[in-house]
């Protein structure tokens, strides 16, 4: 705080400003009571005068003393960050324009001064009702979907059992048809062999003596051939 | 010179007012949402729906089994058709054997 010596008036012992009147610094009330730098505490006037003379000896150099009349462009420090943040918010009107400091313009007739709580209450109640109806609709649809899912599940089960039964039946039929097919192949073989054996048996029969000849062979299969 | 009047006390009071306002708004919103029992209804609906999940899985498996059964049935149908053709041949064979 004591770094600005030029802020002290010209007559004070610590300031570098010298007016033409201050040849010798008189020990006035001012020079005694003003604390300087820290170099010279408040003491008796005589000692101050001594120190003032010492200061005067130091600064009697031939260089020019610059007298600062007005401070230049000093950087503006940010006094309060919250205040600057508040200032960056854009200006807008509140809901009740009458709550501002009343401008005496012609807007008094339109703007309200008080807010009707009932209307606000109705607004909130309406919103509440709206939410309730929405949620009820959604819940209703979900329940309907649940019921449909159960129905479909039941239907699928029924179908499954019916088709499974039919599949078993058809399995049995297919098995029977398979056996039929095997029977057919056996019969074919029999026919071929019979066609092969038939003329040979006839020939053999003819070669036998007439007393031992068998009857002619036919496929009627009415009684076993003896 | 607004900074001269802007001391800690006004800041604190403004803070209180603002926080009170925001708390009131919050309690109003909470009341609106809890008054419409939307949360409960929707939670109930979600629980119901999610309890159908195993049911849906079961239906899906059953449908896959039905698909298998269908292919087996097709196979059997082809076999039976072939056998029907064979029946005619058997008839002919029997006739020639029993001439």
* Spatial CA neighbour of B62 closest among A161, A120, A13, A109: A161
Taking an 8 Å cut-off on Cβ atoms, the answer to whether B2 and A83 are in contact is yes
Taking an 8 Å cut-off on Cβ atoms, the answer to whether B76 and A164 are in contact is no
A5-14, A85-94, A151-160, A205-214: least confident range: A5-14
Mean pLDDT value across residues A168-185 = 85
- For helices B53-97 and A117-207, give the axis angle rounded to 10 degrees: 20
Confirm or reject contact between A171 and chain B (CB < 8 A).
yes
- A25: closest CA of chain B, how far (Å): 37
In terms of average pLDDT, the best of A3-17, A71-85, A188-202 is A188-202
Per-residue model confidence as pLDDT tens digits over B32-51: 989 888 889 999 999 998 99
Which pLDDT band, with edges at 50, 70 and 90, does A131 fall under?
A: very high
Taking an 8 Å cut-off on Cβ atoms, the answer to whether A156 and B70 are in contact is no
Which pLDDT band, with edges at 50, 70 and 90, does A127 fall under?
A: very high
Reply yes or no on whether the pLDDT at A224 is more than 70. Answer: no
Mean pLDDT value across residues B61-85 = 89
Other beta carbons within 10 Å of A69:
6
Q: Measured between beta carbons, which residues in chain B are less than 8 angstroms from residue A135?
A: 36-39, 41-42
Confirm or reject contact between A184 and chain B (CB < 8 A).
yes
Asked whether the beta carbons of A43 and A49 are under 8 A apart, the reply is no
Taking an 8 Å cut-off on Cβ atoms, the answer to whether B97 and A190 are in contact is yes
Reply yes or no on whether the pLDDT at B72 is more than 80. Answer: yes
Asked whether the beta carbons of A55 and A43 are under 8 A apart, the reply is no
Rounded to whole angstroms, what are the CA distances from A107 to A102, A104, A115, A190? 9, 8, 17, 121
Structure confidence at residue B1 (pLDDT) = 45
Asked whether the beta carbons of A143 and B45 are under 8 A apart, the reply is yes
Confirm or reject contact between A136 and chain B (CB < 8 A).
yes
A160, A182, A193: best mutation site toward chain B, by most B Cβ within 10 Å?
A160
Give the largest CA-CA distance in chain B: 135
Rounded to whole angstroms, what are the CA distances from A14 to A19, A48, A84? 13, 10, 38
Distance, CA of A95 to CA of A116 (rounded, Å): 12
Reply yes or no on whether the pLDDT at A24 is more than 90. Answer: no
Asked whether the beta carbons of A120 and B32 are under 8 A apart, the reply is no
Other beta carbons within 10 Å of A204:
12
* Spatial CA neighbour of A82 closest among B48, B25, B11: B11
Structure confidence at residue A31 (pLDDT) = 52
Rounded to whole angstroms, what are the CA distances from A139 to A128, A144, B41, B45, B46? 16, 9, 6, 5, 8
Helix residue spans in chain B (DSSP H) = 2-5, 8-35, 38-51, 53-97
Q: Which residue has the tokens 């007016």?
A: A19
Distance, CA of A53 to CA of A24 (rounded, Å): 8
For residue A105, give every residue at least 6 positions away whose Cβ sits within 8 Å of its Cβ, in sequence order, or none. Answer: none
Helices (runs of H) and strands (runs of E) counted in chain A: 4, 0
A44-48, A210-214, B24-28, B34-38: least confident range: A44-48
Report the mean per-residue pLDDT for chain A: 73
Higher pLDDT residue, B7 or A118? A118
Mean pLDDT value across residues A127-148 = 93
What secondary structure letter does DSSP report for A216? P
Which pLDDT band, with edges at 50, 70 and 90, does A213 fall under?
A: confident
Which pLDDT band, with edges at 50, 70 and 90, does B23 fall under?
A: very high
Higher pLDDT residue, A135 or A194? A135
Reply yes or no on whether the pLDDT at A98 is more than 50. Answer: yes
Mean pLDDT value across residues A79-108 = 74
Mean pLDDT value across residues A216-225 = 55
Q: Is the confidence metric ipTM above 0.85 for this complex? A: no
What secondary structure letter does DSSP report for A65? P
Structure confidence at residue A85 (pLDDT) = 87
Reply yes or no on whether the pLDDT at A48 is more than 50. Answer: no
Distance, CA of A181 to CA of A167 (rounded, Å): 21
Higher pLDDT residue, A18 or B20? B20
Q: How many CA atoms lie within 13 A of B88 on its CB side?
A: 4
Rounded to whole angstroms, what are the CA distances from A119 to A125, A189, B32? 10, 103, 15
A9-23, A94-108, A198-212, B12-26: least confident range: A9-23
Taking an 8 Å cut-off on Cβ atoms, the answer to whether B77 and A135 are in contact is no
Structure confidence at residue A78 (pLDDT) = 72
Q: Measured between beta carbons, which residues in chain A are less than 8 angstroms from residue B11?
A: 82
């Amino acid at each position: 705080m004591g770094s600005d010596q030029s802020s002290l008036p010209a007559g004070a012992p610590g300031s570098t400003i010298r007016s033409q009147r201050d040849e010798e610094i008189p020990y006035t009330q001012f020079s005694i009571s003003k604390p300087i730098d820290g170099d010279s505490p408040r003491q008796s006037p005589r000692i101050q005068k001594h120190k003032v003379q010492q200061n005067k000896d130091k600064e009697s150099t031939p260089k020019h003393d610059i007298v600062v009349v007005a401070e230049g462009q000093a950087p503006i420090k940010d006094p309060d960050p919250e205040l600057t943040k508040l200032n960056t918010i854009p200006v807008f009107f509140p809901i009740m324009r009458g709550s501002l400091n009343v401008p005496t313009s012609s807007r008094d007739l339109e703007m309200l001064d008080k807010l009707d709580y009932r209307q606000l209450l109705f607004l909130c109640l309406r919103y509440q009702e709206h939410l309730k109806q929405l949620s009820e609709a959604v819940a209703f649809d979900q329940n309907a979907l649940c019921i449909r899912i159960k129905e479909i599940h039941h239907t699928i089960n029924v179908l499954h059992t019916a088709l499974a039964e039919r599949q078993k039946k058809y399995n049995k039929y297919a098995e029977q048809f398979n056996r039929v097919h095997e029977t057919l192949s056996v019969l074919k073989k029999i026919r071929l062999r019979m066609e092969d054996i038939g003329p040979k048996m006839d020939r053999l029969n003819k070669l036998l003596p007439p007393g031992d000849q068998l009857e002619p062979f036919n496929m009627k299969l009415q009684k076993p051939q003896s | 010179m607004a900074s001269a009047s802007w001391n800690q006390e006004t800041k604190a009071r403004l803070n209180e007012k603002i926080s009170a306002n925001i708390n009131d708004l919050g309690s109003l919103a909470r009341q609106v949402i809890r008054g419409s029992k939307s949360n409960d209804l929707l939670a109930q609906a979600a629980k119901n729906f999610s309890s159908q999940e195993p049911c849906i899985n079961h239906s899906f498996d059953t449908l896959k089994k039905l698909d298998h059964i269908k292919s087996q049935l097709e196979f059997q149908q082809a076999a039976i058709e072939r056998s029907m053709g064979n029946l005619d041949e058997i008839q002919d064979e029997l006739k020639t054997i029993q001439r």
